[in-house]
Amino acid sequence: MEQFIRVDMTTQQVTSGPLPEKYVGLGGRALTSNFVNDEVKPTCHALGKNNKLIFAPGLLSGTSAPNSGRLSVGAKSPLTGTIKECNTGGLFSQKMAKMGIKAFVVEGKPADDKFYIIKIDMNGVSIEEAPESILGGCGNYEAIQILNEKYGAKVGIALAGPAGEHRLPSANISFKDPESNIRSAGRGGLGAVMGSKNVKAIIIDDAGAKPVPVADPEKFRAAAKIFAKALLDHPVAGQGLAAYGTDVLVNILNEAGGLPAHNFTAGRIDYNDNFSGETMNALITERGGDGKVSHGCHPGCIIRCSQWYPDKKGKYITSGFEYETVWGLGADAGIKDFDAIAYIDRAMDDVGVDSIEIAVAVATAMEGGLIPWGDGEAVLQIVKDMAKPTPLARIIAGGCAIVGKLCGLYRVPVVKDQAIPAYDPRAVKGIGLTYATTPMGADHTAGYCISGNILKVGADIDPLKKDGQIEYARAMQIGTAAVDSTGMCLFVYFGIADNPGGYQALIDMINAQYGINLTAADVDKLGESVLKVERDFNKRAGFTNAHDRLPEFMEYEPIEPHNVVWDFTPEEIDEVYNF
């Protein structure tokens, strides 16, 4: 049976029942965003008792479909004040799906200040006090080891790290990955929401769960095979991401003049190969030891964009070492040493903060004089101090908008108070429309227009011109909202964007699993409906079209080397959501 579980932390009551009728047929982001829009008071304080945190596997999660193990987490964001859907790998999604749990909601707020662990297994849900050993500054890596020992090595774990306990606006929710390292539902401060409900950890144990029911197993297997082939045959999804990780983008964006540098004052640097994807591949290979060039963030991933980055002696430092993190610390904040960036990445995972928000906040703080430019050691210490947290650590973990305000700056790269990631919208105009208009605040993953603007996958649009960008940003956001509802990793897009058979196979898998007959048009409609629901929440929270704008400095500060400004008019930007 499809279960819908609620845990009320005010009363510690657990309610478990069938999935409400209106959510049948929804999964992942479609489910979390509809729920948040239905039940969370849009004007509530994100850290107060009226916010609700929802976890939902995607429509295909738990099946044998490749790359279907992504989880959606939703709530009102304490960083942006908007609705938020955050997406992560790890073990949670597939375990929830196998247990028949379509969604799990944490609501209310305890009257006491104790932290709790919620445990979900086949016997039900229990709430217990969190042991002292994982509280008060215990890092996520150690907490996962302690919880593995207590609950068994195979359980799934979601953690509010030290930053989440302190309800810092950039706190993420950290998830145990297949090797007990860390994946993150990173953006928008959902770890602070979890911390505000005094939930330190959620443990999920699927021992005894049966396989996910599939209405037409033969049709499902055939479609999954075509889908897997589409991914593996594509040079980006099948080979490029495994070899170089997402960090391969350092050199491409640098060459295109769209790599934001020195707090968004330049679009190119001359030390890019210090930390490019090519260098990452070479260093991991050369150092050996624990190093792995490719690694999957969840069981069943065949794209394998993650990696294990080792130190000079071959000892593991970090995994899931992403382009956005490397860019932010390397190009935007000027930290030129790759290992220094890796140790900061590890520290961010350990304390549980969004590596994009922190990296951009750090660069802004450097412009504001709070940290010396390029000082990796100072940044590492500040990130570690987020576990205490010291006043400076609190300020940086407050996010880029807060840092900019406190430093008296006008050059503050945020939209709806969320930091702009690794692609300068002046030089890559399509992504600027996504940053401006997505209900999430600046978020490249909400409509990845880099694909057609720079990578020439799925479209071929001049990144420096406005032509075709509005329609493209609209289509990418609609498609993304649909994919985010399936439990699929967004990178499947590379494999199916130019392969209609691969895209059809994705739809065929959903149809075979549920015994339904969705068409491509239905999938588009699903994506549109998700965006409309999210916009509706934001509107009722007080957001208008005037919030769908990039920071003003981008309109009058041209960026080198192409000497371009952001030149979409407000009317043009508003066209993106004209559907």
Partner 1 sequence: MTITVKLFATLRAYHDKIFELAMPEASTVEAVVTHLELPANDIAIIMINGRGAKMDAKLEEGDVLALFPPVGGG
Q: Which is nearer to partner 1, 413 or 463 (CB)?
A: 463
Rounded Cα–Cα distance for residues 51 and 196 (Å): 10
Helix (H) or strand (E) holding 479: helix 469-483
Q: What is the DSSP string of 404-472?
A: HHHTT-S---EETTEE--SS-TTTSHHHHHHHHHSTTSS-GGGS-THIIIII-SS----TTS-TTHHHH
Binding mask 269-288 for partner 1 (x = CB under 8 A): ----x---xx----------
Q: Least distance from C-beta 257 to partner 1, angstroms? A: 4
Rounded Cα–Cα distance for residues 337 and 317 (Å): 14
End-to-end CA distance of the chain: 36
Q: Least distance from C-beta 194 to partner 1, angstroms? A: 26
Q: Which is nearer to partner 1, 63 or 279 (CB)?
A: 279
Q: Least distance from C-beta 359 to partner 1, angstroms? A: 16
Q: Which is nearer to partner 1, 88 or 196 (CB)?
A: 88
**Residue 186 binds partner 1 (CB under 8 A):** no
Q: Which is nearer to partner 1, 38 or 462 (CB)?
A: 462
The percent helix, strand, coil of the chain (3-state, each to 5) is: 45, 15, 40
537 touches 35 (CB < 8 A): no
Q: Least distance from C-beta 471 to partner 1, angstroms? A: 19
Q: What is the SS3 assignment for 521?
A: helix
* Residue indicated by tokens 């957001």: 543
Angle made by CA atoms 401, 404, 405, in degrees to the nearest 5: 85
Helices (H) and strands (E) in the chain, counts: 23, 17
Applying CB under 8 A, among 125, 407, 464, 518 the residue interacting with partner 1 is 464
* Residue indicated by tokens 């002292």: 132
Q: Which is nearer to partner 1, 67 or 513 (CB)?
A: 67
Q: Which is nearer to partner 1, 62 or 257 (CB)?
A: 257
Q: Which is nearer to partner 1, 480 or 511 (CB)?
A: 480
Locate 38 and state its tokens. Answer: 């239905």
Locate 366 and state its tokens. Answer: 């450097």
Q: Scan residues 472-511 and list those touching partner 1 (CB under 8 A).
A: 490-491, 494
Rounded Cα–Cα distance for residues 221 and 215 (Å): 11
Q: Least distance from C-beta 62 to partner 1, angstroms? A: 25
Q: Least distance from C-beta 239 to partner 1, angstroms? A: 8
Q: What is the SS3 assignment for 73?
A: strand
List Cα–Cα distances, 335 to 15, 282, 522, in angstroms. 49, 20, 46
Q: Which is nearer to partner 1, 315 or 465 (CB)?
A: 465
Q: Scan residues 222-261 and list those touching partner 1 (CB under 8 A).
A: 234-236, 240-241, 243-249, 251-252, 255-257
Q: What is the SS3 assignment for 186?
A: coil
Q: Least distance from C-beta 454 to partner 1, angstroms? A: 7
Q: Least distance from C-beta 502 to partner 1, angstroms? A: 15
**Residue 295 binds partner 1 (CB under 8 A):** no
**Residue 305 binds partner 1 (CB under 8 A):** yes
Stretch that binds partner 1, among 307-315, 459-467, 468-476, 520-528 (CB under 8 A): 459-467
Q: Scan residues 419-458 and list those touching partner 1 (CB under 8 A).
A: 444-445, 448, 450-451, 454-457
Q: Which is nearer to partner 1, 198 or 272 (CB)?
A: 272
Q: Which is nearer to partner 1, 480 or 538 (CB)?
A: 480
Site size toward partner 1, by CB under 8 A:
42
Rounded Cα–Cα distance for residues 240 and 247 (Å): 11
Name the site residues for partner 1 (rule: CB under 8 A). Answer: 234-236, 240-241, 243-249, 251-252, 255-257, 268, 273, 277-278, 305, 322-323, 444-445, 448, 450-451, 454-457, 460, 462-464, 490-491, 494, 561-562
